[in-house]
Copies of this chain bind each other. A is one copy, B any other.
């Protein structure tokens, strides 16, 4: 039996961009004889509409059985006013947690063809290539206890817990060091060790793991300073490793430095490199259904999947080259369009990548 890929198009622009990514995946499947078998299911709002919950048990079982999951995007105004416990995002958090996808890789890469799109000065971001490694199944996102309560005097209060264990920190630190090792051998660990107990343990464990990677240069930075340095001089960074919440904030900031978040894929991996792959951008409800969304981040997520879950380097490289080719041809969806380029819709962009491949 071939490798099983579960496709979750999700909400908003999810189905449109996924349709193009699947074309590319199917072509790569044939061309490189990958033997993939695709199946489909729903997550997020689409799952609420179909199953009444943002992640159905049967979907989770299918995801567990699959060798990799490809996700579009989840969420939208339609589900904004429903019970917080079953909002679309809950499905995303649950699948991350249940599949043990603790290692989130978020590249912030500036495509030379799109250098103008950034709100930063060209000399500050030219050649930008950062990889954020975010811990994805621990910390304050999942910490217990968490509660909303009312005191006897009627005052409400709420709290969350930010826990990290040594083993959780160790395994994500290793991902950071492994990534740094195959890139430029520089790892920056971001924490708030001058204030948080969890960050003090984070820093201590990262330092211990560093002993196994004498070839990688480790530095530490406080999260407030990192948020500042990403704006001031982002090219000082290569690989950044950080916790779930700081990673959420810094990876979004870093991706926006490129000015083209419609181009950025991501991977969420478990201990055996089984993974879920999705674009960094959201479900963009404002343009959903119009056929104008940029499918390239999802197409590049396919490439990441081939690289990280299946070690199909050749096929992964070919997809990345095809994307670069269509940019060279001057094709642009609205989000990355600039004067002198040809504005195309979602399908035309997908077809162009297929043709280039």
Contact = CB atoms under 8 A, between A and B. Distances in A.
A165 B167 CA distance: 33
A275 to B, nearest CB: 21
A164 B155 CA distance: 11
Interface residues of A, number: 60
Nearest to A165: B157
Interface in A206-243: 223-225, 227-233
Contacts of A157: 163-166, 201
Interface stretch (A18-26, A27-35, A143-151, A314-322): A143-151
B248 A224 contact: yes
Interface in A247-264: 248-253, 255-257, 259, 261
Interface in A151-203: 155-167, 192, 194-198, 200-202
- Grouping DSSP codes into helix (H, G, I), strand (E, B) and loop, the A interface class, with mixed when no group exceeds half, is helix
A223 B194 contact: no
A198 to B, nearest CB: 5
Contacts of A259: 232
B201 A228 contact: no
A89 interface: yes
Interface in A53-107: 84, 87, 89, 93
Interface centre among A140, A192, A223, by most B CB within 10 Å? A140
Contacts of A121: 119-121
A245 interface: yes
Contacts of A120: 119-121, 231
B192 A245 contact: yes
Contact of A158 (B93, B163, B228): B163
Contacts of A140: 162, 195-196
Nearest to A143: B159
A271 interface: no
Most chain B beta-carbon neighbours within 10 Å: one of A160, A202, A230, A253: A160
A158 B124 contact: no
A49 to B, nearest CB: 19
A162 B164 contact: no
A252 B232 contact: no
Given A119-B232, A232-B119, A156 B201 contact: yes
A93 B261 CA distance: 37
Contacts of A230: 253
Contacts of A158: 163-164, 197-198, 200-202
Interface of A: 84, 87, 89, 93, 119-121, 124, 140-141, 143, 146-148, 155-167, 192, 194-198, 200-202, 205, 223-225, 227-233, 245-246, 248-253, 255-257, 259, 261
9 contacts: A146-B196, A148-B197, A157-B164, A158-B197, A159-B198, A160-B161, A227-B249, A227-B253, A228-B255
